[in-house]
Chains A and B, each alone.
Chain A
């Protein structure tokens, strides 16, 4: 993301980059702790995704509004205060809305504050862009994050409990893979998704190379991103 003045127009890419090309979980590998910890069911994954999206939207909107007022020297401190405020707000809101969801997510609601994705977006995008651009981009990122959580949550709940959103899918005779609900399952399912995406990218790249006889700059899209962190 080049340091451009505030005049960049909103393109579909502003929104879509967060969902696919710069997906915070699958491509940038940011905010892994909640991704692994709360995705043992679809409902938890959805709640966590929505809470994170809310914090991302609100805090980045504020950062974008105040971007000229915040001096460079204390910007990180200011961002952290803003993020922590909205996380506290979300924490109380969830507690008020549903005790069940609150108990299921536990301390991970408060741990949104150290989700590197939010601070990263504030620093890399919101502090340099207009409010409208920031809102669109944050929404895309939030949705991308939620989709990634749902990808993990659905696989883990389906295999680990034989159900989706609490409704049994496989029937009585299915012996649940309990390991999927346990910590190792989180690591394995995320690894499997990353493998799948890496494989898709590689085969796409190979096809492109086969199509164009001359060597292309396929590496720009492919493999490099997996080493991003």
Chain B
């Protein structure tokens, strides 16, 4: 596979350079919202949705800013777009799919400060991806985020019943799990190389 092919971009973002486990983006939700499998999946889904929307808008904005040579406004524009995208998703979900809104609703405001979203926007700009490439990149990143957070939640649900020393409960345990997951994901590096 060529480095610019869509399949590789997707795989790269989803598995090889997993946003959470290899690039350390979106650690806060990984530690905070991975207690239950259901909520973790909803959170992953909501994040991927916002990721996709903000990636598309970020691509458009970058085109406009580059055209007018205003690159120095990029960061401010991106963060504004992400915040509005979150609002937009929240409002449209509320109107068109109240059931989904009830499931995802409480997570949506949290997503604004999720580094993974801004990360997608910044990385696709750095790599100079085209529109379609950006689309696949953000889809891959979203899939990777769902994989990571769901795996994590599954492990933590199992560990609820385990007899863990009191000092290791909570964040320390989650971080160790994340470390082991990240170790496992390192095996994917070199995939298709």
Residues of A within 8 A of B (CB): 29-30, 32-34, 36-37, 77, 80-81, 84-85, 87-88, 91-92, 107, 110-111, 113-116, 119, 179, 182-188, 190-191, 194-195, 198-199, 202, 223, 226-227, 229
Contacts and interface: CB of A to CB of B under 8 A. Distances in A.
Interface string B164-187: 001111111101101110110010
Interface string B14-52: 000000011111111001100000000000000000000
Contacts of B27: 32-33, 36
Given A32-B31, A33-B115, A110-B75, A184 B24 contact: no
B130 interface: no
Contacts of A85: 76
Contact of B172 (A37, A114, A194): A194
Interface residues of B, number: 42
A191 B24 contact: no
Contact of B118 (A36, A111, A179): A111
B171 A194 contact: yes
Contacts of B180: 184
B122 A111 contact: yes
Closest 10 CB pairs of A and B: A187-B179, A191-B175, A37-B24, A198-B167, A32-B27, A194-B172, A36-B24, A184-B183, A84-B76, A184-B182
B5 interface: no
A197 to B, nearest CB: 9
B171 A226 contact: yes
B119 to A, nearest CB: 6
A198 B122 contact: no
Among B167, B169, B186, the most chain A Cβ lie within 10 Å of the Cβ of B167
Contacts of B28: 29-30, 32-33, 116, 229
Contacts of B57: none
B103 interface: no
Contacts of A80: 79-80, 83
23 contacts: A32-B27, A33-B26, A34-B24, A80-B83, A81-B76, A107-B119, A107-B126, A110-B118, A111-B122, A114-B79, A115-B115, A183-B21, A183-B22, A183-B24, A187-B175, A190-B175, A191-B176, A199-B167, A202-B167, A227-B169, A227-B171, A229-B28, A229-B32
A195 B172 contact: yes
Contacts of A84: 75-76, 79-80
B121 to A, nearest CB: 10
Nearest to A83: B79
A27 B76 CA distance: 30
B186 A184 contact: yes
B108 to A, nearest CB: 14
